[in-house]
Amino acid sequence: MSEDWTRRRLVALGSAALITPTLLAPRLTSAQGQGLLARLLASKKVRVGIANQPPFSALNPDGTLTGVAPTISQLIMTRLGITEIEGFIGTYGELVPGMQAGRWDYISACLTVTEPRCKQVTYSDPITSDGRCIVTLKGEKGPKKIAELKDYVVGLLAGGADFRMVQVRGVPLANLRQFPNDTALLDGLLARRFQAQFGSHPGIAEIIRKRGLEKDLDVIYPVEDDAVSFAACAFRKEDTDLHAAFQRELRALKASGEFAKVVSSFGFDVDDKLLTATPETACTF
């Protein structure tokens, strides 16, 4: 029947378009696997997962990245002979899944070192240490320490380490409001979408200073029942070669003093604890 000619053609084309990717799949898989470092060295290019949270990681007006983690990463990659760095920006919660899915080769962010994450990824030596702060609107009754957070509606970063921390300390999930970044968090607080903001101090402090919000907000820092945590770059468990090379260069940077210079230029304190901490000692948080 000539009437079916067009229809049959279209259906055949359509099913071909749907099936082809499936046939290609096994070929794409075989390109991944062992020898990540060797492949990166050969292509002189690395893809990294990045968070945008000044001053940990931040954006330049030309679209390139600055901040502690990207700067340290760039120094190390240059020393390894990898010249091109392609950055993919996501929230903290997306960084690990994206790396496991092969979207980027490692996480070049100040990812807080936590026990559950230590089971999923291999960390580098810590590159920053920080404490958390509690921010509330001036004049409002608010929590003074982490143990008191459970009686309030709390805003925090989506997928960040704080998310697990407050749940462990008894804040019910229903009372948590997650936001993609510190700016959105502060705007949320000002719009009274929650009562208390809980998160890493340096980033929030910088925005409050930039916007001149000191007169509107109460910032509690340091929080008495908080402990210092470390943050580091993270690698897939199987990419031991890349991790070892990164560690070697990071330790060289720490020994030469270049590391301290970079980290303090972004307003972070560098103490002996940060310089001597290893993934093993940091993993207790």
Partner 1 sequence: MTPPKSLWDFLPFFLGGIPVTLEVTFLAMAVAVPVAVILAIGRRSPHALVRWPAGFVIELFRGSSALVQLFWAFYVLPLFGLTLPPLLCGVLVLGLNEGSYMSEIVRAGLDAVPKGQREAAVALGLPARYRLFRIILPQALPLMVPPFGNELITMLKFTALVSLVTIQDLSFRATLIGDTLGENGPIFGLTMVVYFILALILGGLVRLLERAVARWAGRNVTAVAAPHGAMLAAAPPSPVPAWALGGGR
Is 100 a residue that touches partner 1 (CB under 8 A)? yes
The least distance separating partner 1 from the CB of residue 282, rounded to whole angstroms, comes to 26
**Which ranges in the chain belong to alpha helices (H)?**
5-30, 36-43, 68-80, 92-100, 115-120, 161-168, 182-190, 201-211, 240-256, 258-265, 272-276, 279-282
Is 210 a residue that touches partner 1 (CB under 8 A)? yes
The least distance separating partner 1 from the CB of residue 28, rounded to whole angstroms, comes to 6
Q: How far apart are CA 63 and CA 45, in angstroms?
A: 18
Residue with tokens 């990717």: 21
DSSP assignment of 100-141 equals HTTSSSEEEEEEE--HHHHHHEEE-S--EEE-EEEEEETTS-
Which of 50-58, 76-84, 118-126, 167-175 is the region at the interface with partner 1 (rule: CB under 8 A)? 50-58
Binding mask 4-43 for partner 1 (x = CB under 8 A): -xxx--xx-xx------xx-xxx-xx--x-----------
- Name the 3-class secondary structure at 216: coil
Is 90 a residue that touches partner 1 (CB under 8 A)? yes
The least distance separating partner 1 from the CB of residue 169, rounded to whole angstroms, comes to 27
**Residues 246 and 236: beta-carbon distance below 8 Å:** no
Is 58 a residue that touches partner 1 (CB under 8 A)? yes
Is 137 a residue that touches partner 1 (CB under 8 A)? no
Q: How far apart are CA 33 and CA 115, in angstroms?
A: 26
Which of 85-93, 109-117, 124-132, 151-159 is the region at the interface with partner 1 (rule: CB under 8 A)? 85-93
Q: Select the residue interacting with partner 1 from 39, 211, 251, 273 (CB under 8 A).
A: 211
Q: How far apart are CA 117 and CA 96, in angstroms?
A: 9
The size of the chain, in residues, is 285
Binding mask 104-133 for partner 1 (x = CB under 8 A): ------------------------------
The least distance separating partner 1 from the CB of residue 151, rounded to whole angstroms, comes to 29
How do 121-123 and 84-89 pair as beta strands? unpaired
- DSSP class of residue 57? B
Burial readout 239-263 (b: 16 or more C-beta within 10 A, e: otherwise): bebbbebbbebbeebbeeeebbebb
Is 97 a residue that touches partner 1 (CB under 8 A)? yes
The least distance separating partner 1 from the CB of residue 126, rounded to whole angstroms, comes to 22
* Binding positions for partner 1, rule: CB under 8 A: 2-3, 5-7, 10-11, 13-14, 21-22, 24-26, 28-29, 32, 52-54, 58-59, 61-63, 66, 88-90, 94, 97-98, 100-103, 180-184, 186-187, 206-207, 210-211, 265-267
